[in-house]
């Protein structure tokens, strides 16, 4: 990764912090704080190294804050590739357990009627039982604006920056990109959310440098006063710098449930069926992912 890429990401993050702090101070009486902390365990029957970055909390997206996600755990999907290219595409079945810890903390402030500015800091760590080369620690910031379009639709425009560190240090990188999210709260019980995320990941090695395009759609339904059912679909395409023309795709179908067992405490359970492939013949694979976690949300 060149120094210009490092400086661009760090300057963007610093600029977001300065701007947000100014607006928080200017309207402190209307500012709000929110946070999520969670731990989850995951079993995969066919670990795919190229998709080993698990994000607990937001369906593979960077942190999104209150009101936009519901209780979605979600698979990762924007992480770097493990091993040499184009290996670790899941062709040779290999199961494993992993533990993911994550925390998000942020604030929001009104800047106009139905318009809110927010900043979220996030940190996560994932550890595998056997495939330690996929272990990772990621810290990031997401800043943006929410706009209510009437009583049903909320639109979010944001930019995310992250620093990633892996046991396999050639994968170490910085990443940034815009996020667009639209949420429809049709009734107090039913919501739908669509997201797009563009990621430019600049790694220490060109073999782990890529551009990614992520599209997701999730729905939630409050079937009982403290129980939410979730369904989702994610599509990911990543184009790597090296080898030239190497492309990875992934499609994930998900179902989950979130149960509030005490005030602001949740048990999250989720199943994901991940279908991945690349433009190298014979690299298609399937991974069944089972996750259970405990989360505190404020």
Q: What is the pLDDT of residues 249-283, one digit of tens each?
A: 999 999 999 999 999 999 999 999 999 988 888 88
Phi-psi region of 65 (alpha: psi -120 to 50; beta: other; left: phi over 0): left
Render 154-194 in DSSP notation, one character per residue. EEEEEEEEEEEEESSGGG-EEEEEEEEEEEEE-SSSEEEEE
- The confidence score (pLDDT) of residue 51 equals 66
Residue 168 has pLDDT above 80, yes or no: yes
User: With contact defined as beta carbons under 8 Å apart, do 120 and 139 qualify?
Assistant: no
- What per-residue confidence (pLDDT) applies to 21? 55
- Can you give the residue ranges of every domain in the chain? 3-297
Average pLDDT for 124-144: 91
**Are 270 and 230 spatial neighbours (Cβ–Cβ below 8 Å)?**
yes
Token pair for residue 19? 């701007």
Q: Which residue has the higher pLDDT, 133 or 295?
A: 295
CA–CA distances in Å: residue 251 to residues 144, 184, 191 = 27, 23, 22
**pLDDT tens, residue by residue, 172-207:** 999 999 999 999 999 999 999 999 999 999 999 898
Cα 38 to the chain's mean position, in Å?
A: 14
Contact 184, 151 (CB under 8 A): no
pLDDT exceeding 90 applies to what percent of the chain? 55
What is the spatial distance between Cα 253 and Cα 88, in angstroms, rounded to a whole number?
21
Question: What pLDDT does residue 283 have?
Answer: 82
Q: How far, in Å, CA of 224 to CA of 116, rounded?
A: 30
Whole-number pLDDT of residue 60: 42
Position with higher pLDDT, 213 vs 69: 213
| Pick from 36-40, 103-107, 215-219: least confident | 103-107
Residue 70's pLDDT is what? Answer: 43
pLDDT number for residue 143? 94
Residue among 175, 174, 142 nearest 156 (CA)? 142
For tokens 């101070």, the residue is 25
Q: Is the pLDDT of residue 16 over 50?
A: yes
The pLDDT value given to residue 34: 83
Greatest CA separation for the chain: 59
The more confident residue out of 281 and 48 is 281
pLDDT recorded at residue 74: 39
Strand partners, 158: 144, 179
Least confident segment among 32-41, 218-227, 248-257: 32-41
Are 58 and 75 in contact, with CB atoms under 8 Å apart? no
6 pLDDT exceeds 60?
A: no
Topology at the third CATH level for domain 3-297: Porin (2.40.160)
Give the pLDDT band (50/70/90) at residue 47.
Answer: confident
User: Which of 147, 62, 154 lies closest to 106 in space, CA to CA?
Assistant: 62
User: What pLDDT score was predicted for residue 158?
Assistant: 96
Residue closest to 77 by CA, chosen among 256, 266, 253, 231: 253
The pLDDT confidence band at residue 64, using thresholds 50, 70 and 90, is low
What confidence score (pLDDT) does residue 179 get?
A: 96
pLDDT tens, 79-104?
333 334 444 544 455 899 999 998 99
């Amino acid at each position: 990764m060149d120094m210009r890429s490092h400086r661009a990401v760090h300057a963007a993050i610093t600029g977001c912090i300065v701007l947000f702090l100014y607006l928080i101070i200017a309207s402190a009486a209307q500012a709000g704080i929110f946070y999520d902390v969670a731990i989850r365990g995951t079993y995969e029957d066919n670990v795919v190294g190229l998709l080993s970055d698990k994000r607990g909390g937001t369906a593979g997206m960077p942190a999104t804050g209150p009101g936009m996600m519901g209780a979605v755990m979600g698979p990762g999907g924007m992480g770097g590739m493990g091993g040499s290219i184009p290996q670790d595409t899941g062709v040779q079945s290999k199961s494993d357990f992993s533990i993911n810890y994550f925390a998000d903390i942020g604030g929001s402030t009104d800047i106009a009627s139905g318009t809110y500015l927010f900043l979220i800091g996030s940190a996560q760590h994932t550890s595998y039982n056997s495939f330690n080369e996929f272990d990772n620690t990621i810290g990031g910031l997401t800043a943006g604006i929410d706009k209510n379009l009437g009583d049903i639709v909320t639109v979010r425009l944001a930019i995310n920056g992250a620093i990633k560190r892996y046991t396999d240090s050639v994968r170490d990188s910085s990443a940034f990109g815009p996020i667009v999210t639209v949420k429809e709260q049709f009734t107090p019980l039913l919501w739908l959310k669509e997201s797009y995320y563009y990621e430019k990941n600049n790694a220490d090695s060109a073999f782990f440098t890529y551009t990614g395009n992520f599209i997701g759609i999730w729905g939630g339904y409050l079937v009982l006063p403290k129980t939410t059912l979730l369904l989702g679909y994610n599509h990911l395409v990543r184009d790597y710098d090296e080898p030239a023309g190497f492309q990875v795709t992934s499609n994930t179908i998900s179902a989950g449930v979130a149960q509030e067992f005490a005030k602001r405490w949740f048990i999250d359970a989720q199943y994901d069926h991940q279908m991945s492939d690349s433009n190298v013949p014979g690299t298609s694979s399937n991974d069944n992912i089972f996750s259970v976690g405990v989360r505190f949300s404020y």
